Every structure is written in C-alpha cells, then in structure tokens.
C-alpha cells in the first residue's frame, strides 16, 4: 500500500519481485499492490473485511519534495491503517525519509534481501524462474523459432 502516486511503479516492481521469486512449487505469497486513495474504497474494503490471506505493508514518505495542503491527508493514512489493524489485518509500516535516489534504493535493497530470505524460508530458490522459462519455451515453439524444432513438433501434437 502506498499513499503517494510516485510510488506506483515501486509497487509494480515489488509485485514482480515477489511473484517471480516466490511463486513456485505451489508456494509463495500472492503479491498485490494498491495505490491509496485511488483504490481505498474498492481494495481498502476488501483488505479491512475480506479474506485473511494477506499481510499489509504500508510505505509512507516522511518528507515530500512539494507540499500540497490537504487538511485530512495524514489523518486519512493513519485512519485507514488503524481501521485495517482493528479489522485484524497483519500490518506494518515502512517510512522512507524522502522520495530520492538514496531512499528508494534503500527500499528496493530491503525488499530484495527480504524476498531472498523469505524464499529460502519457504524452501524455494528465489533466484530462478521455471514458470517464466516454461511459457517462453512454449511461445518460441509456437512461433517456430530456430532451435526449438522438437519442442514445436511436440506442442503442435498437443494442439
């Protein structure tokens, strides 16, 4: 979860990191991300009262480059997080000091280390991607890419 639109693509990167690193052998978390306040009513409702299969991580920025006065913004972020905690959602908050290269780099590094450790705890290799390789091999076979002649014959026989 983030409350800053500039973190949208960090969230997209995070989904790829965890999906590709842990999503194998019928294991791994289902990585999803939401941009509040855009997704607050739709996904916020689900997070607060839906199925308990998630752990919410909120990324907050302590000091932004520009300031836009919205009287209830900070209260909305805290109010949302408190409502989710009160709803029984496991929750943590990560605060980065600013939206700059050092803070974003540190955040990415934190998630990379956490993902590697998490993958090993789950008993999967977080540094391979057998599912990705499988669909790439099928795609190359369907496109008759040179070097995939045998796979092409095998996949055509299945169709």
User: What residues are paired with 61 via a beta bridge?
Assistant: 96
CA-CA distances (angstroms) from residue 47 to 51, 76, 85, 90, 95?
8, 16, 10, 10, 20
Looking at residue 70, what is its pLDDT? 55
pLDDT, averaged per 10 consecutive residues of the chain (159 residues), comes to 93 96 94 92 91 91 74 71 90 93 97 97 95 92 94 92
| Predicted TM-score of the model (pTM) | 0.81
Q: Catalytic residue numbers?
A: 20, 41, 136
Give residue 76's pLDDT: 73
- Helix, strand or coil for residue 20? helix
36 in Cβ contact with 2 (< 8 Å): yes
What pLDDT, on the 0 to 100 scale, is given for residue 71? 57
C-alpha dihedral (32, 36, 39, 44), degrees to nearest 10 = 80
Query: Which residues, listed in sequence order, are joined to residue 91 by a DSSP beta bridge?
Result: 56
User: What is the distance between the alpha carbons of residues 51 and 62, in angstroms, rounded to a whole number?
Assistant: 31
């Amino acid at each position: 979860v983030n409350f800053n639109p500039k973190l949208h693509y960090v969230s997209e990167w995070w989904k790829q990191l965890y999906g590709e690193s842990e999503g194998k052998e019928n294991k791994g978390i289902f990585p999803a991300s939401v941009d509040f306040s855009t997704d607050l009513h739709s996904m916020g409702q689900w997070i607060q009262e839906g199925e308990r299969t998630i752990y919410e991580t909120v990324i907050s920025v302590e000091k932004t480059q520009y300031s836009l006065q919205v009287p209830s913004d900070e209260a909305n972020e805290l109010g949302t997080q408190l409502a989710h905690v009160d709803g029984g959602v496991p929750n943590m908050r990560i605060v980065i000091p600013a939206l700059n290269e050092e803070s974003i780099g540190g955040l990415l590094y934190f998630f990379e280390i956490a993902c590697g450790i998490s993958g090993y705890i789950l008993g999967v290799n977080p540094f391979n991607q057998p599912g990705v390789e499988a669909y790439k091999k099928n795609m190359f076979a369907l496109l008759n890419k040179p070097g995939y002649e045998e796979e092409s014959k095998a996949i055509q026989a299945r169709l």
